[in-house]
Amino acid sequence: MNDHPLTSLFGYFALLSLFAVGGANAAIPEMHRVAVELMHWMNDRQFADMYAIAQMSPGPNVIIVALIGYHVAGFAGGAIATAAMCGPTCMLAFLVARVWDRFKGARWRMAIQAGMVPLSLGLIGASAFVLARTADHNVYGALITAATAGVAFFTRVNPLWVFVAAGVLGLGGWL
């Protein structure tokens, strides 16, 4: 799979998308494993930066794959990575949607649905862990992370303001 960057982009993202229950956030550790550890497309800091940019831009968080793809292979890379991440799972969603309603109340349907919940929780938790290890290099970074988690858990403040405040703190050279 390493003959051409576009081929490996497509192969890795198409494969990982099929196991990403819990959405883009559940796939972050696998993206990090492939992009940083396996393929050496980028370093930890670049990966963390791209996560931040994807969070700050409007729309679904999955667009981080367009940033990674662009970094690896320009415009074609961004397009291929996005298509690979969304294409196969969209086909699956389309096909399942047609039959799903027919089995409403079926025991196996409820078992599959309930069985996926803990896995997606574990995977999203792993994303937070991997990102924190990649990005929080000192006690101030960890404090900002902890403070944001507290604010987001206990209040309904728009995350945009937290991002602005954290960006200003970062600019001040605390991190």
Partner 1 sequence: MSDSPPAAVHPALAELFGGFVLVSISGFGGALPWARRMIVEQKRWMTTEEFNETFALSQFLPGPNVINFSVVFGSRFGGPAGAVVALAGLLGPPLMIVTVLAVLYERFGGLETLSRVLAGVTAAAIGLLIAVVAKMAAPMFLMRWNSAPIFALLAFTGVAIMHWPLPYVFLGLAPFSIAFAWFKR
Kindly state whether residue 3 participates in binding partner 1, applying the rule CB under 8 A: no
Kindly state whether residue 48 participates in binding partner 1, applying the rule CB under 8 A: yes
Among 59, 58, 60, which Cα is nearest to 25's?
60
Taking CB under 8 A as the criterion, which residues in 110-169 touch partner 1? Answer: 110-132, 135-136, 141-142, 144-153, 158-160, 162-163, 165-169
DSSP letters for 137-170: -SHHHHHHHHHHHHHHHH----HHHHHHHHHHHH
Taking CB under 8 A as the criterion, which residues in 72-111 touch partner 1? Answer: 75, 78, 82, 85-86, 88-90, 92-94, 96-98, 100, 107-108, 110-111
The one-character DSSP state at 42 is S
- Residue 4 or 19: the one with the smaller Cβ distance to partner 1 is 19
List the structure tokens of 140: 């101030």
* Cβ atoms < 10 Å from Cβ of 20: 20
Position among 5, 15, 39, 76 found at the interface with partner 1 (CB under 8 A): 15
Taking CB under 8 A as the criterion, which residues in 18-47 touch partner 1? Answer: 18-25, 27, 29-30, 33, 37, 45-46
**Locus of tokens 């999955």:** 62
The least distance separating partner 1 from the CB of residue 41, rounded to whole angstroms, comes to 13
Contact criterion met (CB below 8 Å) for 20 and 26 = yes
Contact criterion met (CB below 8 Å) for 67 and 50 = yes
The least distance separating partner 1 from the CB of residue 143, rounded to whole angstroms, comes to 8
